[in-house]
Amino acid sequence: MKNNRKTVIVTGAARGIGRGISMELAKAGYTVCAVGTRSAEDENVRAYLAELTSVSPDSFYLSGDISDAADRTRIVEGAFAGLCEVDALVNNAGVAPTVRNDILEMTEESFDRVLDINLRGTFFLTQAIANRMVKQTPADFRRTIVFITSISAVVSSINRGEYCISKAGLSMTAKLFADRLAADGINVYEVRPGIIATDMTAGVMEKYTRLINDGLCPIKRIGQPEDVGRVVHALCDNFLGYSTGEVINVDGGMMIQTL
């Protein structure tokens, strides 16, 4: 803990779902190490950090690309230097394909880019942080790692197959870390958002709104980043303390199978 506040690293923190998560945790009393690819001097990042520190004054921002090994090392060193100990890690950073292509037209470059960030980078960042978490001072609560995946871990989208593959792989990654870390007092969860209002979905929001109005989701609205943030908050606060390796859908009921 830092100043008797729980500590958390959130990747992809400055916008979209990551912003919703980090702000929810900050308001709940966490000191947040926010990680993103944009420079700390970026106007949007500065505005985000001002909002974050207004409710959690010791929170801070680190710039880095989790797909790059040197950046991962720098992120880990900076996070632990600023937080002292890490009580929770939220793996939210991720990208969609730059161009949505049919899988028969998908390029190797697109495949490599998406998997390098969403899967490989996330895996090895988690590995590095977990290795330090298991050596920390024992706590009277269970520490937490959360992987933000997507309903695309199990739902096919043939025009962004690399994204689906990355999220399916991340789903197994969450299960593996849950199995490995339970004995070390660390619970691991997978959170699968559905259709959430972010930069990633902005270009297809008209389509998604129409589908939801036509019955795609029992809860007839677009999800908000705060919806995901509240679920992550509950997990980090040990409200599911006797569960690990679980998948929590935040999708308006979209994954309910009906006849």
Active site members: 163
d(CA 209, CA 55): 33
First to last CA, the chain: 49
d(CA 234, CA 163): 27
How many other CB atoms are found less than 10 A from the CB of residue 164?
A: 20
d(CA 259, CA 255): 13
Q: Are 6 and 31 in contact (CB under 8 A)?
A: yes
Sequence-ordered alpha helix ranges (H) in 28-181: 43-55, 69-83, 108-115, 122-133, 161-181
Specify whether the backbone of 11 is left (phi greater than 0), alpha (psi in -120 to 50) or beta: beta
Give me the numbers of helices (H) and strands (E) for the chain, helices first please.
Answer: 8, 7
